[in-house]
Amino acid sequence: MSEPAERASHFIDQIVEADAASGKWGVWPAQEGARAGKPRVHTRFPPEPNGYLHIGHAKSICLNFGLAERSGGKFNLRFDDTNPTKEEQEYVDAIIRDVKWLGAEFDPAKGACGGGLFFASNYFGQMYAYAEELVKKGRAYVCELSADEVSKRRGTPQTPATSPFRDRPVEESLKLLAGMRAGKHPNGAMTVRAKIDLASPNFNLRDPVMYRIVHEPHHNTGDAWSMYPMYDWAHGLEDSLEGITHSVCTLEFENHRPLYDWFIDAINEGRGEGSAWGPRIHHPQQIEFAKLRPTYTVLSKRNLLKMVESGIVKGWDDPRMPTISALRRRGFTPESIRAFCDDVGVTRAESIIDIGRLENAAREHLNKAAPRRMAVLRPVKVVITNWKDGGDEARVEWMDAVNNPEDAAAGSRRVPFTKELFIERDDFMEAPPKKFFRLAPGAEVRLRYAYWVTCTGIVKDAAGEIAEIHCTYDPRTRGGNDPPPGPDGKSRKVKGTIHWVSASHAARAEVRLFDRLFNAEEPGKASGDYTTDLNPRSLEVVSAYIEPALAEPGDGEPEWADGIRRYQFERLGYFCVDSESRPGALVFNRTVTLKDAWAKEAAKQ
């Protein structure tokens, strides 16, 4: 995962650097090869496999991987798979694919920072042993209150919570715990709770639930368990078992940090050299940062799932979604997403980030990397009426077109030019206003890479719509060059250049013009219902004509690592080939327009 040459250091960088300088976490042992002797920095990305990753997760992935990469440390991908009722293998597979696509390689065999792939469910046995230990130490107990009863007894800031089972004998709790493990009790019959402080002003410490009974098969462990750890109990232990040094998470977990610390401290109580409990376990350092909150976007997994299930979008990878899978399908590159994450920075200040910064990151990268092609989305036919003056009226002339003006090594391609062409309907006006520099009756424009043409007439259909535009061409302007001066020594000038495709050579393609899914900066803020802010124009599908070079890969195209072919359609925007595209049935998705049209609209308000 490469980074900008000049990158601003953030506060977590500074913490990691200070820890390395002080030797807080020691150094990597000799068996670690090239990293042996260097200060230990070990990070992780710990998603729950209950949905697809979104752009907010991308920030965390880039942050955690970047910390490990810059320090010569390790980065783990670990699934917090503690809730079998909401987790699916589909999500596991999608998350692995997305993390790798972003460039955060966790496989030790493939990346220098790879720490490995892990699952919380692989630690269930050890977590259970820790829970049993806390019961034996009098630090946990089995409670038979239902979830509703626990909620009712939660108390207030002035009133402590209560549980009639808090002081039950250790042996009784151990017997019930064993019964839970054996699957003898129904869902909701009892829980394991930590014995902390029922009057704590931090409600997370009011004897939180550590285990609940859930008779559901698990994607990884099958039917081996019928009691599952709560997220708060499992999270810190996973970091401990993997030797994570810097446990980086978002600010909503700041109030949970005392609980995570309590769990580790309670397990370590009485532990040490020669102790019957065993050695002390590793205690990671938790650091919180502000999550990414982009405008015009909903990131709640619950709401994203609702949009998928209700048919508002066509799956988790619908290109209008904020998921990493959707952004990839829409044509965003991992480089652009990483650049965006670096641009927004890492702080503890909650703020809303303009989604236009992500779109601009895509424009900046694709401008450098994407080859240029011509496509006409809303076609109208142009007939060159004097084409026969240059030779055979059926002839084809091949024009040299630059593949990428940002990359001279990309070379050029040959584009066919014929008597009949297609141009964009918006590039012609029968009665143009002032400063309209495209085609109009009597007006002259440059056809990109080809000739100058002048409109001499139009043909309308029965409905009064323009069916054909008749033009003459100037053969002296081949390649779009200026014509020689006239007898008076003056040269003609044109201000407009438009794109085109040959009518007889163009291929047909479906082009999906994606836009933002919501038309409000903060969906649902005004009404309380995010669906009221859905953008009815978030998708427009057109049948376009495209130049032949778009039909299949050709010379001058880059080798995209993910295999997704991306282009700049000249004057229109950046597009990519969709996963549903097939030979003879091509489909392109618009990634972003050439310019930020939303910023222009915002400026008007």
CATH number at residue 132: 3.90.800.10
Q: 178-217 pLDDT, tens per residue? A: 999 999 999 999 999 999 999 999 999 999 999 999 999 9
Classify residue 5: in a domain, yes or no: no
Q: Based on the domain organization, do 197 and 243 belong to the same domain? A: no
Asked whether residue 140 carries a pLDDT value surpassing 60, the answer given is: yes
CATH number at residue 65: 3.40.50.620
Q: How many CB atoms lie within 10 A of CB 221?
A: 16
Q: 24-57 pLDDT, tens per residue? A: 999 999 999 999 999 999 999 999 999 999 999 9
- Quick one: pLDDT at residue 598? 61
Classify residue 95: in a domain, yes or no: yes
Choose one of 253, 276, 291: the last residue of a domain.
291
Asked whether residue 462 carries a pLDDT value surpassing 60, the answer given is: yes
Cα 191–Cα 193–Cα 197 angle in degrees, nearest 5: 150
Asked whether residue 165 carries a pLDDT value surpassing 60, the answer given is: yes
Classify residue 1: in a domain, yes or no: no
Instruction: Please state the domain count of the chain.
Output: 4
CATH number at residue 406: 2.40.240.10
Choose one of 269, 291, 313: the last residue of a domain.
291
Q: Based on C-alpha coordinates, what's the Rg of the chain?
A: 31
Distance, CA of 230 to CA of 585 (rounded, Å): 49
CA atoms within 13 A on the CB side of 348: 8
- Quick one: pLDDT at residue 489? 82
CATH number at residue 583: 1.10.1160.10
Q: 327-375 pLDDT, tens per residue? A: 999 999 999 999 999 999 999 999 999 999 999 999 999 999 999 999 9
Q: 548-605 pLDDT, tens per residue? A: 999 988 777 899 999 999 999 999 999 999 999 999 999 999 999 998 776 665 555 5
Q: Based on the domain organization, do 512 and 552 belong to the same domain? A: yes
Distance, CA of 407 to CA of 369 (rounded, Å): 8
Could you tell me the residue range of the domain that residue 194 belongs to? 124-229
Q: Both tokens of residue 558?
A: 């880059």
Instruction: Tell me, rounded to whole angstroms, the distance of Cα 332 from its chain centroid.
Output: 9
